[in-house]
């Protein structure tokens, strides 16, 4: 595809005049007069001057996909030619894609997840090693670039919040956590400690991931014959079963919990919620809980680790990896005692160990944005010190980049750690070029409908969900029509079940406080528009399955545009409600969260489209199961982001 076509596909408003100007300038660019990046900046500035209420063109039925969404990246350009690299924590090979496209050659990959290794080998013909902590640098081949998206082993643990599963280190005080009573509760205190504690690794039936925690961390557990109790991890035996609340209550919070579990089930991440299909040899259902057998319990001693905990309101418990655990008192009481070194866990230490021993020319690592501010900057300070002590020059502050800044329709901010061996480094590292994000549109990654029908059965909206969305669409259209009189949709979450509630909104009735505030706003909104909302609510309640999370609505699309409709926007079914966004870019893919639905197509993104959101080419062989694909791409890196960073290292930090 030529550059003009790429720019056309990236343009939010396909304005012929603008394209003509660009084509003219691109001709000049080809002769070296104007850089393509400047053109994109100019075009973005031009697009911004267009009327903000001008309607977007409908999403075409057939969209030609360009696997080169970033116009500044030419495939013929191979700055990594002749370089070898290793791919630590390789997943399905986002780094591998990026570096080989730039001309590099992979000499070693490593991932502990067997399904990732399978996909990696099928695509690249290279069998990854299993465990980074076991890699012996004396036996490793030499290489030029160390790549790795290092996880924090104990960090990374999935915690069930009111907006779905989140990695433990990204949970904030705004989240609420599902407790053992089946309700979501406030977090009173986020806790973290780094040191060399003895850890337990528990494997539990039906879970992909092991659970790693401190020896004393209490779990809600029982044997088949006994009543449940709290027991420290070190005392758990394979006779025991750990619990997960299911179908416990009918109040708003429990419905949210069930919705999360339903989604987990649909993705094959949870065994069952009703007991009917539990594998009786490893699980059973009793008293509102599904109980899963502990399969092994091992101890790991003496490594530097960061461990996380929460203090949770009322019920003093929360759920990790589909398993109830208690607030860890031992943790809470230890507070900020001395003797803990301040870094982020063993797996970064393994990257640092390999870097120090092997002394490659460059490194490029990726991590969650949170790394930057983690522990008030102390974690980053330790990582930075480790790089400089190993003989590398790197930026004093980690760089943050998201695919949407390169024209790929996904918002996914991640930190990039880029380094160069001191003997190759310039006296002062050049700053990264400022980016002028081009307009994005989800259209640029959509497949045509016929291909989706073949590639991804099961992505279409159900009849019930369509009926529910049609109801909400009536409301959107009503308020859009009033928009000319300055009436907007509320920015607070709309909880239709509460609109005509009559119970008093005192703190005792509605605790916590934020909830009382939402409820008051909701009731006021309803009263202000009762002429329309009264009959609408009656129709909505008569609509099948218009309950729980689906009776809640979060409008995050801002002021109305003239042709706004749910059937032209993006939405997600979240435990907190149906969230609506503009069709510019998808929220970040994460391993366990809800895949976005494209209104115009009346379906969610299929695995191939999710691969495109991570800028994997269409030649990439996907895993056979959709749920595995969604998870693997959610964990992966965006290929264009890595290419952009690697290009910067090789052409700006250290021109070769
Ligand atoms: C954030 S993902 C990295 C994804 C990868 N960069 C990609 O593009 O797909 C982290 C990976 O680390 C792997 N992992 C965790 N602990 C590991 C260990 N001790 N050794 C090797 N891999 C490990 C996980 O299985 C996971 O695939």
How many Å apart are CA 65 and CA 293, to the nearest integer?
46
230 contacts 219 by C-beta, under 8 angstroms? yes
Mean pLDDT of the chain: 76
Distances (CA, A) of 36 to 32, 67, 153: 9, 18, 41
Cβ of 112 less than 6 Å from ligand 1: yes
Mean pLDDT for the stretch of residues 48-59: 34
Choosing from 106, 111, 121 the residue with most ligand 1 atoms within 8 A of its CB, the one to mutate for a pocket test is 111
pLDDT category at 151 given cuts 50, 70, 90 is low
pLDDT of residue 76: 63
Whether the pLDDT of residue 619 is over 60: the answer is yes
pLDDT category at 300 given cuts 50, 70, 90 is confident
**Is residue 357 classed as helix, strand or coil in its secondary structure?**
helix
Dihedral pair phi/psi, residue 471, rounded to 5°: -65, -50
Side-chain half-sphere of 368: how many Cα atoms within 13 Å?
A: 21
Mean pLDDT for the stretch of residues 248-252: 41
In terms of Cα–Cα distance, which of 194, 182, 135, 503 is closest to 355?
135
pLDDT of residue 524: 94
How many Å apart are CA 631 and CA 635, to the nearest integer?
6
Distances (CA, A) of 216 to 189, 211, 294, 339: 19, 13, 16, 19
pLDDT of residue 194: 62
Mean pLDDT for the stretch of residues 152-173: 70
CA angle at 516 for the pair 512 and 518, rounded to the nearest 5°: 115
Choosing from 127, 151, 344 the residue with most ligand 1 atoms within 8 A of its CB, the one to mutate for a pocket test is 151
Q: How far is the CA of 297 from the centre of ligand 1 (A)?
A: 22
pLDDT of residue 575: 67
Whether the pLDDT of residue 63 is over 50: the answer is no
Cβ of 131 less than 6 Å from ligand 1: yes
Mean pLDDT for the stretch of residues 231-236: 80
Whether the pLDDT of residue 256 is over 60: the answer is no
Choosing from 86, 106, 112, 170 the residue with most ligand 1 atoms within 8 A of its CB, the one to mutate for a pocket test is 112
DSSP string, 405-472: GGT-SB---EEEEEEEEGGG--SSPPPPPPP-PPP--GGGGPPPHHHHHHH-TT-BPPHHHHHHHHHH
Q: What is the pLDDT of residues 467-488, one digit of tens each?
A: 999 999 999 999 999 987 878 8
2 vs 93: which has the higher pLDDT:
93
DSSP letter, residue 504: -
Whether the pLDDT of residue 495 is over 80: the answer is yes
**Is residue 620 classed as helix, strand or coil in its secondary structure?**
coil
Dihedral pair phi/psi, residue 128, rounded to 5°: -70, 150
Which residue's alpha carbon is nearest to atom 12 within ligand 1? 89
Our measurement of the distance from residue 326's CA atom to the centroid of its chain's CA atoms, rounded to an integer in Å, reads 26
Whether the pLDDT of residue 270 is over 50: the answer is no
pLDDT of residue 31: 30
Cβ of 94 less than 6 Å from ligand 1: yes
Atom nearest to 632 CA in ligand 1: 9
């Amino acid at each position: 595809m030529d550059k003009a076509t790429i720019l056309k596909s990236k343009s939010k408003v396909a304005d012929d005049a603008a394209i003509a100007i660009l084509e003219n300038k691109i001709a000049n660019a080809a002769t070296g007069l104007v850089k393509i990046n400047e053109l994109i900046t100019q075009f973005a500035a031009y697009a911004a001057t267009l009327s903000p209420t001008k309607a977007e063109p409908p999403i075409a039925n057939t969209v030609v996909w360009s696997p080169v969404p970033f116009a500044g990246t030419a495939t013929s350009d191979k700055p990594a030619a002749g370089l070898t690299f290793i791919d630590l924590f390789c997943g399905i090979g986002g780094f591998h894609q990026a570096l080989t496209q730039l001309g590099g050659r992979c000499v070693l990959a490593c991932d502990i997840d067997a399904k990732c290794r399978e996909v990696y080998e099928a695509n690249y013909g290279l069998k990854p090693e299993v465990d980074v902590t076991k890699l012996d640098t004396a036996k490793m081949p030499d290489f030029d670039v160390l790549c790795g998206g290092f996880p924090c082993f104990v960090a990374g643990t999935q915690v069930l919040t009111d907006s779905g599963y989140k990695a433990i280190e990204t949970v904030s005080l705004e989240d609420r956590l599902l407790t053992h009573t089946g309700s979501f509760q406030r977090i009173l205190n986020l806790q973290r400690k780094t040191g060399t504690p003895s850890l337990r690794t528990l494997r539990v039936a039906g879970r992909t991931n092991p659970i790693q925690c401190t020896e004393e961390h209490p779990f809600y557990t029982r044997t088949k014959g006994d009543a449940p109790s709290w027991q420290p991890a070190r005392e758990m035996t394979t006779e025991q079963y750990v619990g997960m609340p299911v179908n416990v209550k009918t109040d708003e919070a429990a419905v949210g919990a069930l919705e999360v579990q339903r989604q987990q089930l649909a993705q094959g991440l949870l065994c069952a919620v009703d007991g009917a299909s539990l594998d009786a040899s490893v699980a059973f259902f009793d008293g509102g809980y599904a109980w899963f057998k502990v399969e092994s319990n091992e101890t790991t001693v003496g490594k530097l680790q960061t461990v996380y905990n929460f203090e949770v309101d009322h019920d003093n418990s929360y759920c990790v990896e589909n398993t109830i655990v208690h607030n860890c008192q031992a943790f809470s009481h230890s507070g900020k005692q001395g003797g803990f070194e301040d870094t982020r866990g063993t797996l970064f230490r393994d990257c640092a160990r390999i870097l120090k021993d092997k002394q490659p020319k460059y490194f490029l690592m990726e991590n969650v944005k949170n790394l930057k501010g983690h522990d008030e900057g102390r974690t980053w300070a330790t990582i930075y010190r480790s790089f400089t002590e190993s003989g590398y020059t790197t930026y004093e502050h980690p760089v943050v980049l998201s695919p949407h800044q390169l024209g790929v329709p996904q918002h996914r901010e991640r930190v990039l750690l880029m380094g160069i061996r001191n003997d190759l480094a310039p006296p002062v590292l050049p700053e990264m070029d400022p980016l002028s994000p081009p307009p994005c549109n989800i259209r640029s990654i959509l497949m045509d409908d016929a291909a989706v029908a073949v590639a991804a059965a099961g992505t279409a909206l159900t009849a019930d969900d369509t009926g529910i969305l049609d109801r909400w669409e009536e409301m959107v259209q009503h308020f859009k029509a009033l928009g000319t009189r300055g009436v907007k949709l509320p920015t607070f979450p709309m909880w239709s079940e509460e609109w005509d509630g009559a119970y008093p909104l005192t703190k005792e009735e509605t605790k916590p406080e934020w909830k009382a505030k939402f409820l008051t706003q909701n009731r006021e909104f309803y009263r202000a528009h009762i002429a329309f909302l009264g009959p609408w609510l009656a129709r909505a309640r008569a609509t099948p399955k218009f309950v729980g999370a689906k009776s809640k609505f979060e409008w995050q699309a801002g002021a109305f545009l003239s042709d706004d409709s749910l059937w032209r926007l993006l939405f997600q079914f979240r435990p907190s409600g149906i969230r609506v966004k503009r069709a510019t870019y998808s929220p970040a893919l994460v391993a366990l969260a809800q895949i976005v639905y494209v209104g115009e197509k009346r379906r969610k993104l299929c695995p191939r489209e999710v691969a495109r959101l991570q800028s994997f080419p269409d030649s990439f062989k996907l895993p056979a199961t959709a749920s595995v694909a969604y998870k693997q791409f959610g964990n992966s890196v965006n290929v264009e982001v890595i290419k952009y960073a690697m290009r910067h290292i090789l052409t700006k930090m250290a021109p070769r």
